[in-house]
């Protein structure tokens, strides 16, 4: 009984506590301001609502809540924010639409490019396949349409061995001499190999007995191989045929001289002097042995610029001034009673330093032709180097032999490689040289020509020699006769006893 009473009391206490807490939570007594100067008035009771049950917007929309200026301001702020967000969403939608249109446009351009590249690649593959098909149709094994032929030349001449090879694909061509591959690097100054439009040619300059032999051309390709042969015979000026075999054994002299030391290939700067010298194993036998010098197969002789010496056991040749025209293969020939020995080497002439900075080199091969009593005709070749700029023209200079003064013949530069020199004195020895001109100025002079005597080349056709008694003669010139005929005067014959010539003069 007591237990039941205690439990009932506890229940009543709990219910009273709960009702009191409910009443406190629903109503809160607030202090109010009764003064009229206050800006804000508050109600006596404000509801307390949990934050997770209602939003600010719902609270502002409630009509039964008391209104205040702060609440209105919050409501206006929410309305303005709503309009701003609406504008932002509109702009975002427009930008998104533009981006979408750009993406679609770029996709179309990329698709078009990819399609174009694919079509182009397909067309290229189709064209290459067609070309391969045509190549397969046109493929053929190598064949010589024009084979090599035999040649017979004299020593020192130039010969060209040529043949025409056909095939598809183009075959590889190789030259052989006496069964060995022909290497152009061994003698670059002597051999020149060219291949143009199926024509293969081998040029051999300054043929010597060593160049004679059997030449072969081999053309190879993946489809096959072809070859052609040709024989080159070089006739020597001594009457022997180069390359021919002889069963005779020449008789040797015990004291016959042989080559000891010889001259190697030489490089000389233009304008400097140089000497080529060789020695012999013993002294040359008188009247049985002799040493002769050649350049490119042409025999050299002593002159004002060339000095040739042959002593007991050595021979030398000296050039006082090197010019480009002196470049070539120099050969010394040792002639004995039973054989001829030779030694050859190439002499390179290097361009000298320019007369002015950037100036051209000296012209080449100055030659005199059409010599008359008052003019000559000069020709030459352009220089080997133009300098800093191309050659614009040439100056021609002359010199009277013995005076040593060079006089310019032309005031304006001569653009062509020829020039007629006029105003010369009859019966005078002249030398001529040429200078090349570019923007930097005049270059070094060329090699001077040999002395040229100005004379009338038709003098013998205008002169008549009349024989008189006692072995005397009268020389009459056609010009004097024609002049006397026009004036219709008499002639006076004057005898010169010392020279036994008669001179026809006009009587005044």
User: DSSP of 313-365, one letter per residue?
Assistant: SEEEEEESS--GGG-EEEEEEEE-SS-EEEEEEEEEEEPPPPSSTT-----EE
Distances (CA, A) of 193 to 143, 174, 175, 185, 189: 20, 11, 9, 11, 11
What's the pLDDT score for residue 298?
Answer: 85
Residue 216: HSE in the Cβ half-sphere, 13 Å Cα cutoff? 10
What's the pLDDT score for residue 163?
Answer: 92
What's the pLDDT score for residue 398?
Answer: 92
Q: Nearest 5°: phi and psi at 308?
A: -115, 130
Check: CB of residue 173 under 8 Å from CB of residue 130: no
Coil vs helix vs strand at 392 = coil
Please list the pLDDT of the chain residue by residue as tens digits (508 residues): 556 676 777 777 777 766 665 555 555 444 444 444 444 444 444 455 454 445 555 555 555 555 555 666 666 676 666 666 677 777 777 888 888 888 898 988 998 888 899 999 999 998 988 888 777 777 788 888 888 888 888 888 888 999 988 888 888 999 998 888 887 776 777 788 888 877 889 998 888 888 888 999 999 988 888 889 888 888 875 544 444 333 333 444 455 677 888 888 888 888 888 999 888 887 776 655 678 889 888 888 888 888 988 887 888 999 988 888 888 889 888 877 667 788 888 888 888 887 888 888 888 889 998 888 888 999 998 888 888 888 899 999 999 988 888 999 998 888 899 999 988 988 899 999 999 999 888 888 888 888 889 888 777 676 777 777 777 777 777 665 555 444 444 444 444 433 444 444 443 3
What's the chain's Rg over C-alpha atoms? 57
What's the pLDDT score for residue 467?
Answer: 77
**What global pTM score does this model have?**
0.43
What's the pLDDT score for residue 432?
Answer: 93
Check: CB of residue 414 under 8 Å from CB of residue 393: yes
């Amino acid at each position: 009984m007591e237990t039941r009473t205690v439990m009932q009391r506890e229940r009543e206490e709990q219910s009273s506590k709960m009702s009191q807490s409910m009443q406190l939570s629903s109503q809160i007594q607030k202090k109010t301001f009764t003064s009229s100067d206050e800006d804000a008035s508050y109600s006596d009771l404000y509801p307390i609502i949990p934050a997770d049950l209602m939003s600010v917007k719902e609270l502002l929309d409630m009509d039964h809540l008391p209104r205040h200026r702060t609440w209105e301001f919050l409501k206006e702020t929410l309305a303005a924010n709503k309009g701003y967000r609406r504008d932002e969403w509109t702009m975002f939608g427009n930008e998104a639409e533009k981006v979408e249109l750009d993406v679609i446009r770029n996709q179309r351009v990329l698709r078009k490019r990819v399609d174009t590249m694919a079509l182009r690649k397909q067309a290229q593959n189709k064209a290459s396949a067609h070309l391969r098909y045509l190549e397969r149709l046109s493929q053929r094994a190598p064949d010589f349409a024009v084979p090599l032929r035999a040649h017979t030349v004299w020593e020192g001449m130039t010969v060209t061995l040529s043949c025409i090879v056909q095939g598809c694909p183009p075959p590889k061509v190789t030259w052989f001499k006496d069964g060995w591959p022909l290497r152009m690097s061994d003698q670059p100054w002597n051999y020149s190999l060219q291949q143009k439009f199926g024509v293969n040619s081998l040029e051999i300059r300054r043929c010597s007995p060593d160049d004679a032999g059997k030449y072969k051309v081999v053309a190879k390709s993946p489809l096959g191989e072809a070859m052609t042969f040709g024989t080159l015979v070089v006739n020597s000026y001594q009457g022997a045929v180069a390359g021919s075999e002889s069963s005779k054994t020449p008789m040797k002299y015990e004291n016959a001289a042989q080559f000891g030391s010889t001259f190697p290939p030489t490089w000389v700067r233009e304008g400097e002097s140089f000497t080529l010298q060789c020695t012999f194993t013993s002294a040359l036998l008188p009247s049985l042995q002799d040493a002769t010098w050649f350049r490119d197969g042409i025999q050299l002789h002593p002159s004002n610029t060339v000095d040739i010496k042959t002593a007991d056991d050595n021979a030398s040749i000296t050039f006082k001034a090197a010019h480009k025209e002196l470049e070539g293969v120099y050969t010394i020939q040792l002639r004995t009673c039973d054989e001829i020995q030779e030694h050859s080497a190439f002499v390179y002439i290097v361009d000298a330093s320019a007369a002015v900075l950037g100036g051209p080199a000296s012209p080449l091969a100055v030659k005199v032709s059409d010599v008359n009593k008052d003019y000559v005709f000069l020709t030459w070749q352009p220089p080997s180097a133009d300098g800093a700029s191309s050659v614009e023209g040439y100056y021609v200079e002359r010199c009277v032999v013995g005076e040593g003064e060079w006089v310019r013949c032309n005031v304006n530069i001569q653009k062509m490689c020829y020039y007629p020199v006029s105003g010369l004195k009859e019966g005078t020895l002249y030398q001529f040289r040429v200078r090349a001109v570019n923007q930097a100025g005049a270059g070094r002079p060329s090699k001077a020509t040999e002395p040229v005597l100005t004379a009338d080349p038709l003098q013998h056709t205008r002169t008549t020699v009349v024989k008189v008694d006692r072995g005397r003669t009268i020389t009459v010139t056609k010009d004097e006769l024609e002049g006397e005929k026009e004036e219709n005067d008499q002639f006076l014959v004057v005898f010169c006893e010392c020279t036994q010539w008669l001179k026809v003069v006009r009587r005044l």
